[in-house]
Amino acid sequence: MNKIDSTAKIGTEVELGEGVEIGPYSILQGKIKVGDYTKIGAFAVMEASVKVGSHCNIGHHVVIGTPPQDLSYRGEETQVIIGDRTTLREFVTVHRATGEGKATSVGDDCFIMAYCHIAHNCHLGNKITMANNSTLAGYVEIEDFATLSGWVGVHQFVRLGKLVMIGGLSKVVMDIPPYTLADGHPARLFGLNIVGMKRRGINKEKREQVHQIYSLIYHSNLPRSQALQELKNSSFDPQLVEEIVGFWERSKRGITRWVTRRQKNNNEEDTSFSW
| pLDDT at residue 266 is higher than 70 | no
Please, what are the domains in the chain? Answer: 3-196 (2.160.10.10), 198-249 (1.20.1180)
pLDDT category of residue 260 using cuts at 50, 70 and 90: low
Helix intervals (H) in the chain: 194-199, 204-219, 224-232, 238-249
pLDDT category of residue 58 using cuts at 50, 70 and 90: very high
Amino acid of residue 4 = I
For residues 203 and 234, give the distance between their C-alpha atoms in angstroms, rounded to a whole number.
20
pLDDT category of residue 168 using cuts at 50, 70 and 90: very high
Name the burial class of residue 169, with classes exposed (0-12), middle (13-18) and buried (19+) by CB atoms within 10 angstroms of its CB: middle
Tell me what the pLDDT averaged over the chain comes to: 94
**pLDDT cut 90: percent of the chain above it:** 93
pTM: 0.94
Q: What is the pLDDT of residues 186-212, one digit of tens each?
A: 999 999 999 999 999 999 999 999 999
- The per-type count for the chain, helices as H runs and strands as E runs, is 4, 26
